[in-house]
């Protein structure tokens, strides 16, 4: 199956339509994120629910509702459907019967960034791009460098100088050009944009500044619905940096409803951040639609160290629409939760994922989550990428 139902790109704010057969970044009139749109009415008539009968066991199973036109452009490292695992011991301790974790640590490059970058790199290659660049807190750089190597594209990554060493080493191995920048991912982004002034041929694949990483990450939403036989969980706890996964899953839910694969029920989306960098939590607590730049961002959960998510308005929109909330936890709580999950459930998760368990404990103690609620946490990367955490 190589047919995609992709029809156009649409601005998430002003609605301006952009053609998909050329390279696109952000909305030309207003500068906000573009969203891929599909002919779902046609797809509904032609596609079986959850693509039943497909022999494909990776995210490319969903190719008809993904943006890449030609199968020869699928750049794949084996993005297998990630397991949805029960957390029986932690669930029992919290008095919960339906506690699950979706383990994205098993994806290529050890993090769920593989989903987004598989898609962005495939589409960039299809449209003739030769060089990609991005600022990253670590895992996105590794995934971009890996998929670029596989696709034969050049890759330049800008990372904070205190990025976990594994991320830097893997980028070196993949042959990416690496620039280390003093500060955080925002500083890395500034340095990159400065360099791009004299290198306009570098295509920027920053979070939500090109339309297709989101499409890769939305597959988490499709997989989740399929794994729960067409009923979504009651709550999803999502460790939020740039918000791609949260926004992507929310988009997937709308698409699946239009496809009549699921009903109108939606999970409450719980955005989890670190107390050292919590722009979304602050905006949520003030009932704002946009976040403010978080100064002196610092946390062991490097994927959450995003001082001002570019698509903050879309993150907040999804949280509000879902009846969810945003909350922050401390690094201390995160580190002890990493050990707790590992010793009790045999899963060495990343600190970002550990944050979601801490957040669940907080909401459970306030009775915001009931004993029978079906709850999904996200392990967004393997703990093996964070050797510094255990020292």
Ligand X SMILES: *Cc1c(COP(=O)(O)O)cnc(C)c1O
Q: Which residues bind ligand X (CB under 6 A)?
A: 111, 113, 139-140, 207, 239-245, 303, 350, 352, 380-381
The residue among 50 and 348 lying less far from ligand X, judged by its C-beta, is 348
At residue 298, φ and ψ (nearest 5 deg) are -150, 125
Closest of 275, 381, 269, 289 to residue 332, by C-alpha: 275
Given Zn ion, ligand X, none, residue 27, with its beta carbon under 5 to 8 Å by kind, binds Zn ion
Which tokens in the block code for residue 152?
């034969």
Q: Cα separation of 328 and 356, whole Å?
A: 9
Given Zn ion, ligand X, none, residue 303, with its beta carbon under 5 to 8 Å by kind, binds ligand X
How remote is the C-alpha of 267 from its chain's centroid? Answer: 17
Please, what's the b/e burial string for 119-136 (b: 16 or more CB within 10 A of its CB; e: otherwise)? bbbbbbbbbebeebbbbb
Given ligand X, Zn ion, none, residue 371, with its beta carbon under 5 to 8 Å by kind, binds none
Q: Cα separation of 95 and 162, whole Å?
A: 39
Given ligand X, Zn ion, none, residue 352, with its beta carbon under 5 to 8 Å by kind, binds ligand X
Given ligand X, Zn ion, none, residue 242, with its beta carbon under 5 to 8 Å by kind, binds ligand X
The residue among 259 and 376 lying less far from ligand X, judged by its C-beta, is 376
The residue among 11 and 277 lying less far from ligand X, judged by its C-beta, is 277
CB of 111 to ligand X, least distance (A): 5
Residue carrying structure tokens 């593989």: 114
CB of 237 to ligand X, least distance (A): 12
Closest residue to ligand X in the complex (CB):
303
Q: Cα separation of 201 and 374, whole Å?
A: 47
CB of 348 to ligand X, least distance (A): 13
CB of 292 to Zn ion, least distance (A): 22
The residue among 27 and 262 lying less far from Zn ion, judged by its C-beta, is 27
**C-alpha angle with apex 96: 95 to 98, nearest 5 degrees?**
165
Given ligand X, Zn ion, none, residue 164, with its beta carbon under 5 to 8 Å by kind, binds none
The residue among 216 and 259 lying less far from ligand X, judged by its C-beta, is 216
CB of 319 to Zn ion, least distance (A): 22
Closest of 179, 193, 248 to residue 217, by C-alpha: 248
CB of 209 to ligand X, least distance (A): 12
Give residues in contact with Zn ion (CB under 5 A): 11, 13-14, 16, 27, 30, 32
| Residue 245 CB-density burial (10 A; 0-12 exposed, 13-18 middle, 19+ buried) | buried
């Amino acid at each position: 199956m190589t047919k995609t139902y992709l029809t156009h790109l649409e601005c998430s704010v002003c609605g301006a339509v952009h053609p998909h057969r050329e390279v696109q970044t952000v909305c030309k009139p207003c500068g906000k994120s573009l969203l891929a749109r599909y002919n779902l009415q046609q797809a509904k008539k032609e596609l079986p629910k959850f693509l039943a009968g497909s022999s494909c066991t990776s995210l490319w199973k969903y190719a008809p509702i993904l943006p890449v036109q030609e199968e020869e452009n699928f750049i794949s490292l084996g993005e297998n459907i990630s397991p949805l695992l029960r957390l029986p011991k932690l669930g029992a301790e919290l008095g919960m019967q339906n506690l699950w974790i979706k383990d994205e640590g098993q994806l290529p490059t050890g993090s769920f960034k593989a989903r987004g970058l598989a898609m962005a790199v495939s589409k960039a290659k299809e449209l003739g791009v030769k060089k990609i660049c991005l600022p990253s807190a670590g895992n996105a750089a590794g995934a971009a460098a890996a998929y670029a190597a596989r696709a034969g594209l050049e890759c330049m990554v800008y990372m904070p100088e205190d990025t976990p060493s594994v991320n830097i080493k893997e980028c070196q191995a993949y042959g990416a050009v690496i620039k280390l920048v003093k500060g955080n991912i925002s500083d890395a982004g500034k340095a990159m944009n400065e360099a791009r002034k004299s290198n306009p041929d570098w295509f920027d694949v920053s979070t939500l500044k090109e339309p297709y990483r989101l499409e890769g990450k939305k597959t988490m939403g499709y997989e989740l619905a399929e794994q729960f036989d067409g009923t979504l969980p009651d709550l999803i706890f999502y460790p939020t940096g740039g918000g791609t996964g949260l926004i992507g899953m929310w988009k997937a839910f709308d698409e699946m409803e239009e496809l009549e694969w699921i009903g109108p029920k939606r999970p409450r989306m719980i955005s989890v951040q670190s107390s050292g960098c919590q722009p979304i939590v602050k905006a949520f607590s003030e009932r704002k639609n946009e976040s403010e730049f978080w100064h002196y961002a610092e946390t062991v959960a490097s994927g959450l160290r995003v001082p001002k998510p570019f698509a903050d308005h879309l993150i907040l929109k999804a949280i509000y629409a879902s009846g969810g909330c945003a909350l922050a936890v401390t690094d201390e709580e995160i580190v002890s939760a990493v050990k707790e999950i590992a010793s009790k459930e045999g899963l060495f998760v990343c600190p970002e994922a550990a944050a979601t368990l801490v957040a669940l404990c907080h909401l459970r103690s306030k009775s915001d989550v009931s004993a029978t609620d079906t709850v999904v946490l996200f392990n967004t990367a393997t703990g093996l990428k964070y050797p510094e955490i255990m020292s």
